[in-house]
Every structure is written in C-alpha cells, then in structure tokens.
Amino acid sequence: MSTPGAVWQRPAFAETFVRDRRRLIPLIEGQEEVVGRMLTRGGRRVGRFLDLGAGAGAFAELIMRAHPDSTGVLVDFSAPMIAAAGERLAPYAGRWEYVTGDLSQPAWTAALPAGRYDAVVSAFCIHHLPDERKRALYREACDVLEPGGLFLNWEHVAARGLGDGMLEEWMVESLLAAERGRPQPRPDDEVLSEYFDSAEADILAHPQDQCDWLREAGLTDVDVFFQIPEIAVFGGVKG
C-alpha cells in the first residue's frame, strides 16, 4: 500500500471495525473513562477541537458529550469512515465538520479552517505513519493548539517484553468470534487474511518514545495516562 493506513479506504474492512469496535478493543470502557476524565479534569473547557484520523467519529462524540458547547473539525481520508461518522454524529449536527486530509503528508493542514484549537486528539490512527512522520505530525498538532490546549493520543503502540503481540492475539480471537456469530459468517482464513493485511501496515512506536517526541514538539506535562500491552493513552499540554 502506497499510503499509510490505506486499508481503511476499503468499505468492507472499515464496516467491520465500525460494527465490532467495542468487541475488538480490549477494556474499552476503562480507556473511555480515562480519556473522558483527561478532557474535563481541572475544570478544562473545550470549545473547539481537532480530531486527527477521526474515523467514524467515536472520539468526537465522546468530546461533544463531555463538552456540550464544543465544536469539532474531523480529519480523515477514508470515505467509508467519513460516511459512518455522518450516521453516528447525526444527533450533533451543526457542531462538527469533516475535512478530507491525508496525515501522511504535511499538506493536510492546508485544508483546515482558520483558527486554533483547545484540544487536538487522535485515536488508533497515527501508528500507521513512519516514525519521522509521527514526530512531524506532533509538531503540526502543537502548532494549531491554543496555549494551554490539550493533545491526547489514544493509540496502538509497541510493547517491550512479555506484552509484545498480546493485542494481536486479542484482535484475532475477537474478530473470529464476532464473525462466527453472524448469520452468514465468512471463512476464518478470509477474516484473518484481511486482518493481517491491515496489520502489516502498522508502524508501532513505544509510548515513552512518543512522549519524548511530544516534548520535542513543545508540549509540557507529558505522560502516559493509561496503558495495557500495545494500547496507551498519552499526551500533554501546550505551554
């Protein structure tokens, strides 16, 4: 695939993730709780946010629920995911807009509406990018943050030691279980081929390394706020 994350432009693959997301991401309720608290603790107010690789809009919905006056700009390049976001976020009409952009290229910022953001967030997207592009994207995200603004990345990350490969084991088990529960399940090998095709495009980095890149980008109070093997929530604020 010439473009990082291009598998998400395939309708069948995107639809599978949208439909089964809550089964595929382990301990998702706990992760949502942490993310929600990071978005509101200390009396933080988010008036305008930017969601990078917004997909079907799950992160944007979480923010708009937590901050009822907030508005968002969502960026993605997957037509199937953008369509899914239109359905999911229909109750929030008028509070969000989608911008088509490829985060693997610095030109994605040219499509943004003018102005800065109180929060820039991303979920399960940036791991598709080469490490040097990750670092550049963190700088670009910092540039559009308001002073004191929050950057939060909920991400598929590298694990060192015993946790290496654990998320893949979970995903395979969950994908097969979900498929076998359908009225007309696809063969296991077809499901697994699709999954491993997508996994080949993953470029995972350890969360502590990415925290260093966030500090380089100009963020302070950087830390990992939640972590299980190969999933982490990390970020910081613009000084």
Domains identified in the chain and CATH numbers: 6-150+169-238 (3.40.50.150)
Alpha carbon dihedral 52, 55, 61, 64, in 10-degree steps, equals 30
Q: What pLDDT digit, counting tens, does each position of 91-112 carry?
A: 999 999 999 999 999 999 999 9
Q: What is the DSSP letter of 185?
A: P
Which pLDDT band, with edges at 50, 70 and 90, does 1 fall under?
A: very low
Cα 55 from Cα 63, distance rounded (Å)? 14
Structure-model confidence comparison of residues 96 and 81, the more confident one: 96
Predicted confidence at residue 179, as pLDDT, reads: 87
Cα 127 from Cα 167, distance rounded (Å)? 14
Q: What pLDDT digit, counting tens, does each position of 139-170 carry?
A: 999 999 999 999 999 999 999 899 999 999 99
Alpha carbons within 13 angstroms on the beta-carbon side of residue 237 total 12
DSSP H stretches of helix in 41-130: 58-66, 79-88
- The model carries a pTM of 0.90
Cα 178 from Cα 107, distance rounded (Å)? 38
Alpha carbon dihedral 124, 128, 133, 137, in 10-degree steps, equals -20
* % of the chain beyond a pLDDT of 70: 94
